[in-house]
Structure 1
Amino acid sequence: MSEEELGLEDDDSRAVITAVGRQLKLWREAARLKPAEFGTAIGYGENLVYKVEAGKRIPRPEYLERADEVLGAGGKIAAMAKDVAEARYPKKVRDLAKLEANTVEMGAYTNTVVDGLLQTEDYARALYRLRRPAYGEDEVERQVAARMDRQHIYQLSPAPLLTFVQEEATLRRPVGGRMVLRHQLERLLELAKLRHVEIQVMPTEAEEHAGLAGSLRVLKLKGGTAVGHDEVQLTSRLISDPREVQVLEMRYGMIRAQALTPRESLAFIEKIRGET
């Protein structure tokens, strides 16, 4: 993926990338290097150098590392990679990822698509390409990278308990085509083998369903508090009111009880994969 265009909707990201670009320009000018000379020295084009310094492109870690070496910054430029990495992703994704990194237990019911923490890269990419108004290809890749980065939650130690309930329709909709869906189903079966992950399916034929009001997410944090998260259309909302969180916890508990058991769900997913 090339250096990404910065999303205009994210003022926090823009401020960080603008500041980094300004610092890079000051270091380059102090070294008496023209943009073309600097670009050649670090292995990038002159046009990209201009865009990075103007805050219009997000520099990848390799760009910052090479710039640090060429400009003799002694690690000062390379150290900005952490801030840049965070700024690469939309703010709502960064905020959610921070919560997930601090969770001891998370439950999610999803009724439209496969949950983001369960998605393959190809499935996520297909979803973002369906977005209207359409994303540019750079923004699609930015969003996909952010979603994949959140899946670091599976490597946390101690591992949080992660439970998911997927609506049956999400496992049958061929987002990205049949092969993308098949690989996505295989990914679900793979993740379900992890001891701290449980995946359940809510069958379409279920008569009792406590989740008809929509998808929901409940996170229990290390400090003993709990929060909810809800994302619908253009709205991404963090729910911290204890009374509202209690309602979400109650609904999620009922949803899990009404869905197929984890063992039944794996057999169900295997069956759908065989049909795909």
Structure 2
Amino acid sequence: MPGPKDLDPSSSPRAMLGAELRHARERNGLSQEALGTRVFVSGTFIGQLEAGTRRLRPDMARLVDEALGTDGFFERNCEAANRSRYPEHFAEVAEAEAHATAIRQYAPLLIPGLLQTQAYARAVNRAYDPTASEETIEEWVAGRMARARLLTNPTTPLLWMVLDEAALRRETGGPAVMAEALRHVAGLARRHRVIVQVLPFRAGAHTAMEGSLKLMDFTDAPSLVYFEGVRVGRLEDDPAIVGQLKLTFELLVASALSPQKSLALVEGMAQDYDHAEHL
């Protein structure tokens, strides 16, 4: 029986690699849990690899090849499957977003990447690296805009964003950029493409004061949560942690303004930035 063919990097390599992993596992008569035991990960993680929501890294790929007798196929194809335009700590998250059926996010300091305009994204990336070349900045902006293409689907994924008032009041790129950015957020909310709630300053202390969080649900894989810091990030699939953070998000929703009041606040702030631009 012929073995699997090497992946074409121009296609969807991670999805293809996941499909090949599932086929090879089933040919060997192994469950996800059984394969996970052989390569020292959970069966849940194997399921996420097969669904294309997690990365198969070279060290694990070697173990998979040994366990399944695939003659180095998975190790050879790791590079193509993991090729990404995003920073190392975020590449896996960007791939997971593309497969998610629901994304729930709390953003304490800036408008989330999926909701950003080009001008806002440019200002954010320039602030991240003041010495980067214009070409590099434009490449980063293009990557951020590419992620937002999932919004072209009118219903999937469900997007539910809780934006801290601080994210809306931090003037990023100047008044004109902020006015455009907030009008964009309001437009998405008015088209019912995104549920937007603002967590106002007057809400006081809340359950997520220590940082941002992003929860992602999938049809054929367990939920994930992503934590992000300065140039670092961590993707977590532990069910206990994910469950705890889902409760955290629900508490944030309970403390935030209603979607209607949030929309009014966002549009009012956009008008304020417009006025500031003309002073």
TM-score strictly above 0.5: yes
Query: TM class by shorter-chain length?
Result: 0.5 to 0.7
Q: Is the 2:89–2:232 Cα contact (8 Å) retained in structure 1?
A: no
Q: Considering only CA atoms, is the larger Rg found in Structure 1 or Structure 2?
A: 1
The AA in structure 1 aligned to 2:107 is: T
Match of 1:230 among 214, 227, 232: 227
- After TM superposition, give the deviation of residue 132 of structure 1 in Å: 4.1
Are 2:241 and 1:239 equivalent residues in the alignment?
Answer: no
1:187 aligned residue = 184
Partner residue of 1:97 out of 84, 87, 94? 94
Q: Following the alignment from structure 1 to structure 2, what is the Cα–Cα distance between the partners of residues 205 and 272?
A: 16
The one-letter amino acid paired with 2:231 is: L
Once the two structures are superposed, residues 143-193 of structure 1 have per-residue CA deviations (whole angstroms, 9 ceiling, x without a partner) of 111111000111237512100011111111111111000000100111112
2:206 pairs with 1:209: yes
Q: Partner residue of 1:173?
A: 170
- Cα deviation code 1:209-244 (max 9, x no counterpart): 111011100001111511001110121110111111
List, as ranges, runs of 4+ consecutive aligned residues in structure 1 with deviation greater than 6 Å. Answer: none
1:13-162 to structure 2, matched below 5 A, reads 87-132=84-129, 134-156=131-153, 159-162=156-159
Q: Give, in whole Å, the separation in 2 of the partners of 1:259 and 1:157.
A: 25
SS in 2 for 1:123: helix
Identity value in percent: 33
Quick one: distance in 1 between partners of 2:176 and 2:231? Answer: 29
Report the TM-score, using the length of structure 2 for normalisation: 0.65
Correspondence list, 1:257-268, <5 A: 257-268=254-265
Count of aligned residue pairs for this structure pair: 195
Alpha-carbon distance between aligned partners in 1 of 2:166 and 2:102, rounded to the nearest angstrom: 25
SS of equivalent residue, structure 1 residue 192:
helix
Structure 2 gaps, min length 5: 1-8, 10-79, 274-279
> Are the counterparts in 2 of residues 105 and 161 from structure 1 also a CA contact under 8 Å?
yes
Q: Which residue of 2 aligns with 1:269?
A: 266
Q: RMSD value over aligned CA atoms?
A: 2.2
For residues 129 and 86 of structure 2, the distance between their equivalents in structure 1, rounded to whole angstroms, comes to 19
Instruction: Give distance in 1, aligned partners of 2:122 and 2:185.
Output: 17
Q: Which moved more, 1:97-106 or 1:130-139?
A: 130-139
Matches of 1:269 and 1:158, distance apart in 2: 22
